[in-house]
A and B are shown apart, each in its own frame.
Chain A
Amino acid sequence: MPSKASLFLGFGIMILSGGAVVIAMDWPWKAALFPIVIGIPVFCLAATEVLWVLFGSAPGDQAMDFQLSRHLPAKVTLTRTLQAGGWMLGFFGAIVLLSFPVAVPLFVFLYLKLQGREGWGFSLVFTLAVWALFYGLFDRMLHLPFPDGWIQAWIGLG
């Protein structure tokens, strides 16, 4: 799995840096200097990493960084990772479609009920508390502008 992620990143960076250098060639030198100066070595380093993954023997040491938990079976890890990603994308979709003030309580409540399997009473009280924090702090105190969601705009509720 780490090698696959490295290969994916390496290839991705090769394409990005190679593309960046090719695109930058058409710009005036003032604008092109930095992307070219950085893009060429990054492309070479990414190519080395890809070759290392494909033909090297050792997977390489872990970085001095946070490590993912690896004590669970791979299938469970994959399922839970996809679920977590799904919740995030779902929350993003809800924000865009329904706006923050609606999406926040909806997401918190559904997460507690469906993912956390909490009771109705606890889920409702917890959701209300989070919503009160959100509304009081970000809307009333800080006046962050939360535009209407696409659905509100579409049905003319904004």
Chain B
Amino acid sequence: MIDALVDGLLLILQWKAFAFMLLGIGIGFWVGLLPGLGGATTLALMLPFVYAMEPVEGFAFLLGMHSVVATTGDITSVLFGVPGEATAAATILDGHAMAKKGEAGRALGAALTSSLVGALVGALALALAVPVVRPLVLSFGSPELFMLAIVGIAFIASLSAQGGRGMLRGFLAGGLGLLVATVGQDPQAGIARFTFDSLYLWGGLELVPVLIGIFAIPEIIDLAVRGTSISGGAPPGRLNKGALEGVKDTFRHFGLTIRCSLIGTFIGIMPGLGGAVAQWIAYGHATQSARNAEERKQFGEGDVRGVLGPGAANNSKEGGALIPTVAFGVPGSSAMAILLGGFFLMGLVPGPDMLTIHLAVTFSMVWTIALANVITVVLCFLFLNHLARLTNVRGHLLIPVILVLVFIGGYTANNHYGDLLVTLLFGGIGYLMVMGGWPRAPFVLGLVLGKIAENYLYISVARYEAAWLSRPIVLVLFALAIAVILYPLIQARRSRSKGKAHA
């Protein structure tokens, strides 16, 4: 095992493999920064180039590119409130709020360091987990995966707003997301649902224009209303000093960063859930780390823990997603499904061979994820001060540039003008949600999980009828969902009684 680990490192340090990894990192760096250009799409575009490569070189190129996309995606989210990647949307909530307070450097420092920690945890999990994870994955059938989706929504809906009223709005937003996910051709019966005879809607609503609209447009309108820079004219000195503070924050809340990394890894392992889910669950967990209701109110207004959680989870999920891909040939996400194509192009078959004959190649993947993230984070830190200064640029110079990126980012989903309409429509909905004090996170999670949850619900009902409800893991997950709903209510009640006692 140790020999294979060292061999894996030596393989990736060969000049050709290393050069391909650097090339991949360069592409991934920019793909992450640009809104709308997805890591999975770029992976698909780059796949034909690995034909002529050796497996180690091909994986160094593809994984080097893919594993840094979420890292640099956080930069766009923090600085401009536009998700650079679908997997970096949760970072906006507190990261961009910090940027507006003149703490862009600190938010970026925290996002990048937690991303690095997350990537290393994911890589370590990949190295260690294969023998452990097999029974876990195999014990989760459709009923359990459906319940896992429900737990995820319950988690974020109950934790993203305060009190009973907030929870009601959280669940409403989550339910709306699930409902919106049903638009398009139904996978079971082939019925066109809520498409209003529009061919564009047959494929359902793409996540990217919805995400860009719902997150970016309210921020752009607010920036235009304020008429200032993003940081509201905070002195530049504060921006520069913050990056180190962000690094320190990661270690101040190291337990939270590790827990969120593990959440990301676990979600990555679960087939079909993906990184867009991991970040929200991690954000929900980060809000749960608040000791009382007062402290929880700081989330959304620039609490660094809201940056650390998603930052760690959306990088650790890559290592997690590789586990079922490499070990069983079951891709944990759409990007991994594309990567699976890469295995076959390079003459490898995922499965037991990857853990025996080609173990060194598997470990070279572990090293690629780790090294690519270390290199990217170091590069980002070199330019961090310059990046953070962008938040001091006058708003009316940024708005047209951001809007161009928003519209092109939305358009890249299907290369159709309908994408722009979807961006604007959900921008309007997002603005109303922000105005009314509704959380947007549960909506996005509902939308992401909708199709997966529907599929699992259908299979559960068709295969087990009502008996799926009595499966032991389903019952445990159901109890967990109830506990997650009740926890903030009990916590709020306790702090009220404490307040009364003090009075």
Partner of B176 from A6, A13, A112 at Cβ < 8 Å: A13
**For the complex, is A157 an interface residue (Cβ under 8 Å from B)?**
no
Contact with B along A18-37 (1 / 0, CB 8 A): 00100110011011011101
- Contacts A33-B457, A41-B175; A77 near B225 (Cβ below 8 A): yes
Tell me whether B436 and A34 are in contact (CB under 8 A). Answer: no
Q: How far is the CB of B341 from chain A (nearest CB, A)?
A: 21
CA distance A85 to B236 in the complex (A): 30
Tell me whether A33 and B81 are in contact (CB under 8 A). Answer: no
Partner of A66 from B93, B225, B432, B450 at Cβ < 8 Å: B93
Q: How far is the CB of B267 from chain A (nearest CB, A)?
A: 20
Partner of B161 from A10, A58, A64, A115 at Cβ < 8 Å: A64
Partner of A5 from B92, B436, B439 at Cβ < 8 Å: B436
Q: How far is the CB of B32 from chain A (nearest CB, A)?
A: 14
Tell me whether A108 and B401 are in contact (CB under 8 A). Answer: yes
- Contacts A38-B178, A49-B169, A64-B93; A30 near B188 (Cβ below 8 A): yes
| Stretch among B201-209, B212-220, B347-355, B475-483 lining the A interface | B212-220
CA distance A65 to B222 in the complex (A): 14
Tell me whether A20 and B93 are in contact (CB under 8 A). Answer: no
CA distance A33 to B385 in the complex (A): 52
Of B224, B427, B450, chain A has the most CB atoms within 10 Å of the CB of B224
- Contacts A9-B432, A9-B433, A64-B161; A45 near B454 (Cβ below 8 A): no
**For the complex, is A155 an interface residue (Cβ under 8 Å from B)?**
no
Partner of B226 from A23, A69, A87 at Cβ < 8 Å: A69
Partner of B400 from A37, A92, A111 at Cβ < 8 Å: A111
Q: In the assembled complex, which residues on chain B have CB atoms less than 8 Å from the CB atom of A145?
A: 415
Q: How far is the CB of A147 from chain B (nearest CB, A)?
A: 8
Minimum CB distance partner of B406 in chain A: A88
Contact with A along B397-416 (1 / 0, CB 8 A): 10111011001100110010
Tell me whether B225 and A126 are in contact (CB under 8 A). Answer: no
CA distance A145 to B127 in the complex (A): 42
Tell me whether B194 and A23 are in contact (CB under 8 A). Answer: yes
Minimum CB distance partner of B172 in chain A: A45
CA distance A5 to B440 in the complex (A): 14
CA distance A70 to B77 in the complex (A): 22
Minimum CB distance partner of A37 in chain B: B457
Q: Quick one: which of A61-112 are within 8 Å of B by CB?
A: 61-69, 72, 76-77, 80-81, 83-85, 87-89, 91-92, 95-96, 100, 104, 107-108, 111-112
Minimum CB distance partner of A19 in chain B: B194
Q: Quick one: which of A116-130 are within 8 Å of B by CB?
A: 116, 118, 126, 130
- Contacts A45-B171, A92-B424; A67 near B300 (Cβ below 8 A): yes
CA distance A104 to B191 in the complex (A): 39
CA distance A94 to B369 in the complex (A): 43
Q: In the assembled complex, which residues on chain B have CB atoms less than 8 Å from the CB atom of A28?
A: 189, 191
- Contacts A68-B218, A100-B408, A108-B401; A84 near B189 (Cβ below 8 A): no
Q: Quick one: which of B339-364 are within 8 Å of A by CB?
A: none
Partner of B404 from A89, A108, A112 at Cβ < 8 Å: A108
Grouping DSSP codes into helix (H, G, I), strand (E, B) and loop, the A interface class, with mixed when no group exceeds half, is helix
Tell me whether A46 and B437 are in contact (CB under 8 A). Answer: no
CA distance A145 to B416 in the complex (A): 9
Number of interface residues of B (CB under 8 A): 82
Partner of A95 from B226, B296, B420, B429 at Cβ < 8 Å: B420
Contact with A along B164-178 (1 / 0, CB 8 A): 011011111001101
Partner of B301 from A3, A67, A138 at Cβ < 8 Å: A67
Partner of A42 from B81, B172, B221 at Cβ < 8 Å: B172
Interface size for chain A: under 10, 10 to 19, 20 to 34, or 35 or more residues?
A: 35 or more
Tell me whether A49 and B435 are in contact (CB under 8 A). Answer: no
Tell me whether A45 and B168 are in contact (CB under 8 A). Answer: yes
- Contacts A35-B179, A42-B179; A130 near B435 (Cβ below 8 A): no
Q: Quick one: which of B143-170 are within 8 Å of A by CB?
A: 159-163, 165-166, 168-170
CA distance A122 to B23 in the complex (A): 35
Tell me whether A63 and B166 are in contact (CB under 8 A). Answer: yes
Tell me whether A96 and B399 are in contact (CB under 8 A). Answer: no
Q: In the assembled complex, which residues on chain B have CB atoms less than 8 Å from the CB atom of A107?
A: 400, 403-404
**For the complex, is A152 an interface residue (Cβ under 8 Å from B)?**
no
Q: In the assembled complex, which residues on chain B have CB atoms less than 8 Å from the CB atom of A45?
A: 168, 171-172, 175
- Contacts A27-B189, A81-B221; A104 near B404 (Cβ below 8 A): yes
Tell me whether B222 and A69 are in contact (CB under 8 A). Answer: yes
CA distance A97 to B176 in the complex (A): 33
CA distance A72 to B403 in the complex (A): 23
Q: In the assembled complex, which residues on chain A have CB atoms less than 8 Å from the CB atom of B437?
A: 2, 6, 59-63
**For the complex, is A16 an interface residue (Cβ under 8 Å from B)?**
yes
- Contacts A30-B189, A38-B179; A88 near B400 (Cβ below 8 A): no
CA distance A45 to B432 in the complex (A): 18
Q: What is B's interface to A at a CB cutoff of 8 Å? A: 34, 37, 81, 92-93, 96-97, 159-163, 165-166, 168-172, 175-176, 178-179, 182, 186, 188-189, 191, 193-194, 217-222, 224-227, 287, 296-297, 299-301, 306, 394, 396-397, 399-401, 403-404, 407-408, 411-412, 415, 417, 420-421, 424, 427, 429, 432-441, 450, 453-454, 457-458, 461
Show 30 A/B contacts (Cβ-Cβ < 8 Å), sorted by A. A2-B435, A9-B438, A13-B172, A16-B176, A27-B193, A33-B457, A34-B178, A34-B182, A34-B453, A52-B165, A60-B169, A61-B161, A61-B297, A63-B169, A63-B437, A64-B300, A65-B160, A66-B81, A66-B97, A68-B218, A76-B225, A92-B421, A95-B417, A107-B404, A108-B404, A112-B396, A116-B397, A142-B37, A144-B408, A144-B415
Known: A34-B454, A66-B434. 9 other contacts (CB 8 A): A6-B438, A34-B450, A35-B182, A63-B438, A65-B93, A66-B97, A85-B221, A112-B396, A116-B394
